[in-house]
Amino acid sequence: MPHEVIMPALGMAQDTGHIVAWHKAAGDAVVSGDVLFEVETDKATMEVEAQATGTLTRVTAGEGADVPVGEVIALIAAEGEALSDDPAPSESPADTPADGSAADEAPLPEGTTVIMPTLGMAQDSGLLVSWLIEPGGKVAADDLLFEVETDKSTMEVPAGADGWLAAVLAEPGQEVPTGQTIAVISPEKPGTPLVRKAGAVAAPASAKAPAPAPTPTPAEAPARRPAPPAAPAKGTAPGDRILASPKARRLALAEGLDLARLAEAGYPQPFHVRDLDTLRAMPAAEAAPATAAAAPARHLTAEVDSEAFAAFADWAAGETDLGEAALLAALAGAALGRPAVVAVQRFGTETAYATTPGPLSGTAPAGADAAPDLRLRDLRDSRLASLSLGPEDVPVLTLTRHGDRLTVTLECGAAQLDAPGAVALLAGFADRLDSPLRHLL
């Protein structure tokens, strides 16, 4: 079955995306991870990567086109599949019910549609964990509406509009493709709210409605993983950094599982949650001793005025070559009090910077193989109201905006920073955001 390329949702308020340029043409061979096209919204321009390997075909939207979120704009056919350049029918996944017919579906009420958000460029679906507002309930734009989980994080998503929850189009526990409509917020109170499952999830695979690949059950996961090679793959020597999703790292830490055993056995990286079943299935005689209990986590928050850093960034743009991401890395590195590599995540991409406790001029892009000592997640332009993701491979500072205030959250494991060290890092970074010129002294 060909893999469908859809217009991603890069923000909760995004209805369409503008295709700036295609990096691949119909008939080109693509590998998972290749940049397919650039898309522009009112907030950012992003490069979208291929999520499958094969041949690009059925490109239905050209450069300069404005495409609705969730619409299929191309297919990636695997080797041996028939290719066709005939345009694929364009149909929103929210309009395709489970049986492929719209005749049995009640019409949606009028109002603001809520879609399954894209929380990362490699994400094509999200697991709806729970609804935080009852169907028919009144909501405000900043009220938390639902909770969604990907292999990287669990987030609480705000409603984005005032009104009543008139339609709920997905049930907790369902995997829903990104960009698909999952709710409608109506300006008027509904008589009877519409409640149903996400139709596209249960629908048979077709070229009309984008749907994620089925998630393997725990029993299937070990069998679906490729058999390890006879010798460990390159880059799995003792001491090498293990590549894994944050969620896989958290679960492995909680269960006392050693991801290095998968690497030593030659399983390809990066590892995801499904790979933990393979690790659990390894013979007990080979297993590393499990920890008696999960390492405790540290979760600290601070608030600062957002205008101080904004003014500092404007000044630095005219006096230095450093952008906002490099400035944030410099301030975070200075708070650590030692030379460090700080990885900054913004708009779905991550850039690493080598920092020193000294002047700004000591901050520069780090090498591609540099392992970060600290990660800074810049979510100031998102609508996320709160988060609690748990410890990752390195301490993580997260920035979110609330009006004219910035909330800074530090999450780390107890083994990464002791209590005084965690307090010093968060307080030092918050102080520098509140008084950036201090960094120049």
What would the pLDDT profile of 80-90 be if each residue is shown by its tens digit?
665 555 544 44
Give me the count of residues in the chain. Answer: 441
pLDDT at 83: 58
DSSP 10: -
- Does the structure show a pLDDT above 60 at 110? yes
Directed axis angle between helix 324-336 and helix 419-434, to 10°?
140
Stretch 187-205: mean pLDDT, rounded?
70
Q: Could you give the CA distance from residue 342 to residue 345 in angstroms, rounded to a whole number?
A: 10
- Report the SS3 class of residue 195: strand
pLDDT at 441: 52
CA angle 42, 324, 22 (to 5 degrees): 45
Tally the C-alpha atoms within 13 A of residue 394's C-alpha that lie toward its C-beta.
18
Where does the pLDDT of residue 395 fall: very low under 50, low under 70, confident under 90, or very high at 90 and above? Answer: very high
Where does the pLDDT of residue 238 fall: very low under 50, low under 70, confident under 90, or very high at 90 and above? Answer: very low
Stretch 159-185: mean pLDDT, rounded?
88
In this structure, what are the phi and psi dihedrals at residue 261, rounded to the nearest 5 degrees?
Answer: -65, -35
- Inter-residue contact 260 to 302 (CB < 8 Å): no
Stretch 126-149: mean pLDDT, rounded?
88
Please report the beta strands in 174-225, taking only residues with DSSP state E, as ranges in sequence order. Answer: 175-177, 181-186, 194-195
* Residue ranges in 144-295 assigned as alpha helix (H): 199-202, 221-224, 246-255, 260-264, 275-280
- Inter-residue contact 265 to 228 (CB < 8 Å): yes
- Higher-pLDDT residue of 259 and 119 is 259
Stretch 101-130: mean pLDDT, rounded?
72
In this structure, how many other beta carbons lie within 10 angstroms of the beta carbon of residue 169?
Answer: 24
pLDDT at 90: 42
- Does the structure show a pLDDT above 50 at 99? no
Give the pair of three-digit tokens for residue 328: 């944030």
- Higher-pLDDT residue of 86 and 5 is 5
pLDDT at 43: 64
| 160-169, 174-183, 430-439 — most confident range | 160-169
Which pTM does this prediction carry?
0.38
| 96 Cβ contact partners less than 8 Å away, ≥ 6 residues apart | 102, 199, 200, 203, 208, 209
Stretch 127-136: mean pLDDT, rounded?
88
pLDDT at 314: 86
- Inter-residue contact 9 to 157 (CB < 8 Å): no
CB contact burial 211-243 (16+ within 10 A = b; e otherwise):
bbeeeeeeeebbeebeeeeeeeeeebeeeeebe
pLDDT at 203: 33
Stretch 80-109: mean pLDDT, rounded?
51
- Inter-residue contact 165 to 185 (CB < 8 Å): yes
- Higher-pLDDT residue of 400 and 232 is 400
What residue type is assigned to position 7 of the chain?
M
Of 37-51, 206-220, 293-307, which gets the smallest average pLDDT? Answer: 206-220
| 139-153, 345-359, 401-415 — most confident range | 401-415
Of 157-161, 305-309, 383-387, which gets the smallest average pLDDT? Answer: 383-387
pLDDT at 224: 39
Stretch 376-400: mean pLDDT, rounded?
86
- Residue 116 vs residues 8, 122, 153, 332: alpha-carbon distances, Å: 10, 14, 14, 32
Give which of 5, 10, 72 is closest to 37, Cα–Cα.
5
Domains of the chain: 1-90 (2.40.50.100), 94-204 (2.40.50.100), 221-286 (no CATH), 297-440 (3.30.559.10)
Stretch 151-165: mean pLDDT, rounded?
81
Q: What is the mean pLDDT of the chain?
A: 76
Give the pairing of strands 297-305 and 405-413. antiparallel
| 117-126, 190-199, 311-320, 407-416 — most confident range | 407-416
Stretch 3-13: mean pLDDT, rounded?
73
DSSP 359: -
Where does the pLDDT of residue 275 fall: very low under 50, low under 70, confident under 90, or very high at 90 and above? Answer: confident
pLDDT at 309: 87
Give the pair of three-digit tokens for residue 106: 């009640």
| 285 Cβ contact partners less than 8 Å away, ≥ 6 residues apart | none
- Residue 138 vs residues 135, 142, 147, 190, 192: alpha-carbon distances, Å: 9, 12, 17, 10, 13
